[in-house]
Chains A and B, each alone.
Chain A
Amino acid sequence: MTDFIDIWSYLSREPLLWLTATLAAYAIGDACFRAANRMPLVNPVLIAVTLLGTLLWATGTPYADYFEGAQFVHFLLGPATVALAVPLALNLPRLKSALLPVIAALLAGSLTAIVTALAIARAFGADQVLLATLAPKSTTAPVAIGISDSLGGSPTLTAVLVILTGITGAVIATPLLNLLRLTDWRARGFATGTASHGIGTARAFQVHPVAGAFAGLGMALNAILTALIAPWILSLF
Chain B
Amino acid sequence: MIQALPILLGFQLAGEILVRALALPVPGPVLGMIGLAVAVAASPRLMALMRPLAEGVLAHLSLLFVPAGVGVIGHLHALGAMGPGLALAILISTAAAIAVGALIFVAVAKAVGSEPADD
Say if the beta carbon of A164 comes within 8 Å of chain B: yes
Given known contacts A86-B47, A101-B114, A187 and B66 CB-to-CB distance under 8 angstroms: no
Task: Decide if B94 touches A97 in the complex (CB within 8 Å).
Answer: no
A124 touches B88 (CB 8 A): yes
Whether the Cβ atoms of A26 and B37 lie closer than 8 Å is no
Q: Nearest B residue to A70 by beta-carbon distance?
A: B67
Looking across the interface, which residue of chain A has its beta carbon closest to that of B78? A157
Q: Is the CB of B62 within 8 A of A109?
A: no
Q: Is B26 an interface residue (CB 8 A)?
A: yes
- Interface size class on chain B is 35 or more
A230 to chain B, nearest CB (A): 10
Cβ of B57 < 8 Å from any Cβ of A? yes
Q: Chain B 24-58, CB within 8 Å of chain A: the 1/0 string?
A: 01111110111111011100000100110111011
Is A128 on the interface with B (CB-CB < 8 A)? Answer: no
A234 within 8 A of B: no
Whether, in the assembled complex, A104 has its beta carbon less than 8 Å from a beta carbon of chain B, the answer is yes
Is B99 an interface residue when CB atoms closer than 8 A count as contact? yes
Q: Give the size range of A's interface with the partner.
A: 35 or more
Q: Is the interface of B mostly helix, strand, loop or mixed?
A: helix
Looking at the complex, which one of A49, A102, A168, A194 makes contact with B73 (CB distance below 8 Å)?
A: A49
Q: CB distance B86 to A191 under 8 Å?
A: no
Asked if B98 is at the interface (CB within 8 A of a chain A CB), the reply is yes
Task: Confirm or deny: A151 has a beta carbon within 8 angstroms of a beta carbon on chain B.
Answer: no
Instruction: Name the distance in Å between B64's Cβ and chain A's nearest Cβ.
Output: 5
B90 at interface, CB cutoff 8 A: yes
Question: A190 touches which one: B9, B36, B41, B105 (CB < 8 A)?
Answer: B105
Contact (Cβ within 8 A) B109 A109: no
Complex Cα spacing A120 to B68, Å:
26
Q: Closest CB of chain A to B88's CB: distance in Å?
A: 6
Knowing A87-B54, A87-B58, A104-B108 are in contact, say whether A163-B88 is a contact too (CB < 8 A).
Answer: no
Report yes or no: A112 in contact with B97, Cβ–Cβ below 8 A. yes
Q: How far is the CA of A130 from the CA of B79 in the complex (A)?
A: 10
Interface centre among B32, B51, B53, B64 (most CB of A within 10 A): B64
Instruction: Evaluate contact between A49 and B66: CB separation under 8 angstroms.
Output: yes
**Shortest CB–CB separation between residue B59 and chain A, in angstroms?**
7
19 A-B interface contacts by CB (under 8 A): A48-B69, A71-B67, A82-B32, A82-B33, A85-B11, A85-B39, A86-B54, A92-B41, A112-B96, A117-B92, A121-B86, A130-B82, A143-B27, A156-B75, A184-B102, A184-B116, A188-B102, A198-B65, A199-B65
CB within 8 Å of B: which residues of A? 22-23, 25-26, 30, 43-46, 48-49, 52-53, 56, 63, 66-67, 70-71, 73-74, 76-90, 92, 94, 97-98, 100-102, 104-106, 108-110, 112-114, 116-118, 120-121, 123-126, 130, 134, 137-138, 140-143, 146-147, 156-157, 159-161, 163-170, 172-173, 176-177, 180, 182-188, 190-192, 194-196, 198-199, 201-203, 205-206, 210, 212, 216, 218, 220, 223-224, 227-228
Closest 5 CB pairs of A and B: A124-B85, A109-B101, A191-B101, A86-B54, A70-B67
